[in-house]
Structure 1
Amino acid sequence: MWLPVHKEATALEAVGVTHTGNQRGFVKAEVIGFEDLAGAGSRASTKSAGKACIQGKDCIMRDVDVVESCFNT
């Protein structure tokens, strides 16, 4: 799903775009730059190449970041 967030949004604000309830259980975000993802061809390849990083809730999102959110349920 492709959802826009405002410029310089934090990871916590970005997960709230899909649903504000997501912010309550937010633990971390796995962030991959779009260029890295496109060059590697898949998320698995990007991870194995060391291009994915784990960020906390205060991480500032860049314009072309691809983010997978991790939650505590």
Structure 2
Amino acid sequence: MPGLWTFAAKGFESGLAPIPGDTDVDVSFVTTSESARRRGLATTVLRQTLAGATARGFVTASLQSTAMGTDTLSTTIRTCR
């Protein structure tokens, strides 16, 4: 897909696909394989994503998430810089 950028940990145990907006990046489709959880891989991939978003001129990043096993949605908005 043109314009799609993705970030993944070495070995692809964790990854995500940010969706660019005007000045905001929607961090979506975050996944970590069950065997790789609790090792900080998603945090590392998210930091790479924010650095990439900053380099591309985005100002904020939004992440909507649910706790594993629940349907409760929370939203976090962070400044990329």
**Who wins on radius of gyration, i.e. which is larger?**
2
Instruction: Identify, as 1 or 2, the structure richer in helix.
Output: 1
Q: Which protein has the bigger strand share?
A: 2
| Same fold by TM-score greater than 0.5 | no
> Scaled by the length of structure 1, what TM-score is found?
0.33
Greater relative contact order (Cα 8 A, min sep 6): structure 1 or 2?
Answer: 1
